[in-house]
Amino acid sequence: MSPTELDQMLSTCVLFLDMTETERAEIIPLLEVKTFEEGTPLVLEGPPDQTLWIVLKGRCQVAKRRKAGGEKELAVLLPLDVVGEMSFFHAAPHSANVRALEPVTACRLSHNQYALLQERGSCAANKLVANTVRILSERLRRMDDWAADFMERAAAPEHHEEWRDFRAKLYSGWKF
Amino acid sequence: MAVPSVARLPPREIPGMNPVEAARWYFDQAAARLDLSQNMRKLLLTPKREIKVQIALEMDNGEIGTFLGYRVQHDSARGPFKGGLRYHPEVDGDEVVTLAQLMTWKTAVVNIPYGGAKGGIAVDGSLLSRRELESITRVFVDEIHDSIGPNKDIPAPDMGTNAQVMAWFANQYEKYHGFNPGCVTGKPLELHGSEGREEATGRGVVTIAQQLYKRRGKPLAGSTVAIQGFGNVGTYAARFFHEAGAKVVAVTDVTGGTKNAGGLDVWALIDWGAAKTPLAQFPGGEPITNEELLSAEVDLLVPAALGGVLTANNAEHVRAGMILEAANHPIHPEADEIFNRREILVVPDILANAGGVTVSYFEWVQNQQHFKWELSRVRQELDRILIDSFDKVWTLATEKKVPLRTAAYIIGIGRVGRATVLGGI
């Protein structure tokens, strides 16, 4: 993939939102493009690795190990989706596995490269951070909705059902 | 009218139970008929609040006495908590919880607007001087006054307490909250007590007995009655049975008793008992033991003393056709099963002895209205409530083919359940 093709593609990626062509040009040379066979991992749950990934082609599965064994799929990444942003800014073990569901092309930005950019006082580095916050905020918002929905579905129907059942029994066939 | 027939259930294993387990057993019998889930049973059984306080006071001999006081507020879905306050050395938390639950079902069975509570102090009141008894009462009020009151929780006399204790109780409460006679019932007449409160439980027992006889198509007049217990309840029950024309043929208290197949002279026996003379020496009868009384050949047996007197060991010896539980839980579940099998009709405590709490309710109503009722009105209202309650229990027992006890619990639990559902949680 040529730098021009890469630039053209990344110009629509949320990570590069509001960046000028010049600013993108500061970052793109630092990216390393890699290809993955179906089933091979981009990111492994556990080991810390401060790398930011952008899917360019193909689909990837994000899955988390279950305590009881096996894995639970959390999401499927499509081209221009970003992954690894949590570990990129907070050096902690990766929270999930990311595997190629089919032949995948992705590019990566290492934290060391980003640090060099930041040391130069690059405006692009600051916008990269701002856009990552945007991605995390959107994810947190979805997580809040999901948690609220989960709690409602997990608790309320059971309560309502038992309450309705109790009421029904008390008001059917009995004279108190 | 025919006796309600009881649907035959397969034999069940009933392990040895203490009073707490026995009360739970009876609750579960009704809850099973209502098909209540375990969560709903837990909701209905769990007390709203349990209070345990230290009561420290200087005894007459200069020593410091430390006692534990309890107040369990079980349920208030139907109204303020209501229940007795007992002074007894064996008062403990579990027992008080069970008694508080029973009060909830009892107030619901007779459909008075209360929930259920119970309290007490683990002390032998008979070993206390009058000053010590007053002090322990006042300190207890000091500890719990914020949690009780005429619209919150209204205590009443129970084992080891009386109208005097209630007077001290109200007086101490009023030091915090001002004039408020409805904060407690069972007070002396001079301090906003009610006419008919003292006789209420015994009178209620006889009112219920009259309905029972009526339903069985037999006259109470001329029938034979044996009463175990000759305290407040037994004494008044004997008097009202006698006035209704029944023959009280045997009476016992903790020391033993007296019997006369032709009928005891009840008025003379009351005088005899009031003089603290052993009943066995009553000149108008022959001595009889408590165990003999329980197996006496009578139409109606009235256990009006302790709990747990009828067990699997003596239930087969009972020859009465009907039993009316004037005391709280005098029949073990094992014995109850035997009585069901033998088709001996048992009127359960939560209905049979509900006259006391019903007139307590009247006392509270009078206090709230600042208006005193005549004795005739108290009796009339008591009869109305108890007759209506008995009819509902009998009808449900007949329709659903369950024992009267299960029917009473079903009504109590059902009413509390409906109030809980309507009010929400």
The alpha carbon dihedral of B74, B76, B77, B78 has a sign of positive
Catalytic annotation, pick one of B82, B118, B187, B259: B118
pLDDT exceeds cutoff 80 at B364? yes
Contacts of B3 (CB under 8 A, 6+ apart): B215, B216, B343, B345
Pair B310, B211 in one domain: yes
Distance, CA of B122 to CA of B140 (rounded, Å): 12
The per-residue pLDDT of chain B, averaged, comes to 94
- Which range of residues forms the domain containing residue B216? 200-352
For chain A, the domains span 3-152
Nearest to A166 among B40, B395, B396 (CB): B40
Look at residue B8 in the predicted model and tell me its pLDDT: 38
Q: By the CB < 8 Å criterion, does A139 face chain B?
A: no
Question: Which of A162, A169, A176 lies nearest to residue B39, judging by beta carbons?
Answer: A162
How confident is residue A173, by pLDDT bands cut at 50, 70 and 90? confident
Same structural domain, B151 and B75: yes
Instruction: Out of A126-140, B14-28, B395-409, pick the least confident.
Output: B14-28
Option in B36, B37, B415 nearest A176 (CB): B415
Q: Is residue A155 very low, low, confident or very high in pLDDT (cuts 50, 70, 90)? A: low
**According to the model, what pLDDT value does residue B278 have?**
95
What are the structure tokens assigned to B251, written together?
């009476």
Q: Do B35 and A169 touch (CB under 8 A)?
A: yes
pLDDT at B351: 98
Q: Tell me if B385 is assigned to some domain.
A: no
Answer yes or no: is B413 within a domain.
Answer: no
Same domain as B125, residue B67: yes
Q: Which long-range contacts (CB under 8 A, 24 or more apart) does B222-225 make?
A: B222/B246, B222/B247, B223/B247, B223/B299, B223/B300, B224/B249, B224/B263, B224/B297, B224/B298, B224/B299, B224/B300, B225/B249, B225/B298, B225/B299, B225/B300, B225/B301, B225/B302
B118 tagged catalytic: yes
Percent helix / strand / coil, chain B, rounded to 5 = 50, 15, 35
Residue B346 inside a domain? The answer is yes
Which percentage of chain B shows pLDDT scores above 90?
90
CB pair distance less than 8 Å for A170 and B35: no
Task: Name residues whose C-beta falls within 8 Å of residue B227's C-beta, 6 or more positions apart in sequence.
Answer: B234, B237, B238, B241, B248, B250, B251, B252, B302, B304, B326
We find that the CATH architecture of domain A3-152 is Sandwich (2.60)
CB contact under 8 A, B39 and A176: no
pLDDT of residue A157 exceeding 60, the answer is: no
In a domain, B293, yes or no: yes
Containing H/E element for A71?
A: strand A71-77
Supply the ipTM of this predicted assembly. Answer: 0.75
Answer yes or no: is pLDDT of B11 > 60. no
Question: Are the Cβ atoms of A162 and B36 closer than 8 angstroms?
Answer: no
> What's the rounded Cα separation, in Å, for the pair B302 and B308?
13
Choosing from B139, B172, B191, the residue where a domain stops is B191
Domain count, chain B: 2
Element of type H or E holding B185:
none
Interchain contact, A169 vs B411, CB within 8 Å = no
Please check whether residue B392 lies inside any domain of the structure: no
Question: For B64-109, how does the pLDDT look when each residue is reduced to its tens digit (9 = 90+)?
Answer: 999 999 999 999 999 999 999 999 998 988 889 999 999 999 999 9
Mean pLDDT over A60-79 rounds to: 88
Both B235 and B120 in one domain: the answer is no
Is A67 at the interface with chain B, CB within 8 A? no
Residue B410: its chain A contacts at CB < 8 A? 174, 176
Same domain, B213 and B325: yes
Residues of B in contact with A174 (CB under 8 A): 34, 396, 410, 414
Specify whether B156 is located in the same domain as B271.
no
Could A176 and B40 be called an inter-chain contact, meaning their C-beta atoms sit closer than 8 Å?
no
- Residue B73 belongs to a domain: yes
pLDDT of residue A63: 92
- In this predicted structure, the answer to whether residue B9 has a pLDDT above a threshold of 50 is no
CA dihedral B133, B139, B145, B148 (to 10 degrees): -30
B275, part of any domain? yes
Q: How far is A172 from chain B (nearest CA, A)?
A: 10
Answer whether residue A74 shows pLDDT above 90: no
Which chain B residue's Cα is nearest to A163?
B421
Candidates B33, B38, B40, B111: best to mutate against A (most CBs of A within 10 A) is B40
pLDDT at A54 over 90: yes
Shortest distance between the Cα of A40 and any Cα of chain B, in A, equals 49
Test A176 with B418 for CB contact under 8 angstroms: yes
Q: Is the pLDDT of residue B3 over 60?
A: no
Does B315 map to a domain?
Answer: yes
Cα B101 to chain centroid distance, Å, stands at 12
Q: Are residues B329 and B218 in the same domain?
A: yes
Indicate which of A159, A167, A176 best probes the interface with B, i.e. most B CBs within 10 Å of its own CB: A176
Main-chain dihedrals φ then ψ at residue B385, nearest 5 degrees: -65, -45
* Cα–Cα dist A115/A92, whole Å: 17
Q: What is the CATH number of the domain that holds B106?
A: 3.40.50.10860
**pLDDT at site A158:** 57
Pick from A166, A174, A175: which is nearest to B421 by CB? A166
The Cα of A103 is separated from the nearest Cα of chain B by a number of Å equal to: 53
The pLDDT, as a whole number, for residue B276 is: 86
Which of B301, B332, B352 terminates a domain? The answer is: B352
Query: B36 to chain A: which residues are within 8 Å by CB?
Result: 166, 169
Instruction: State how far residue B346 is from chain A, nearest Cα, in angstroms.
Output: 20
Residues B224 and B313 in one domain: yes
Indicate the residue type of B127. L
Supply the pLDDT for residue B1: 41
- Does residue B156 sit in the same domain as residue B220? no
Query: At which of B160, B191, B222 does a domain end?
Result: B191
List chain A residues with CB under 8 Å of B411: 176
Among the residue ranges A35-39, B21-25, B163-167, the one predicted with the least confidence is B21-25
Answer whether A138 touches B (CB < 8 Å): no
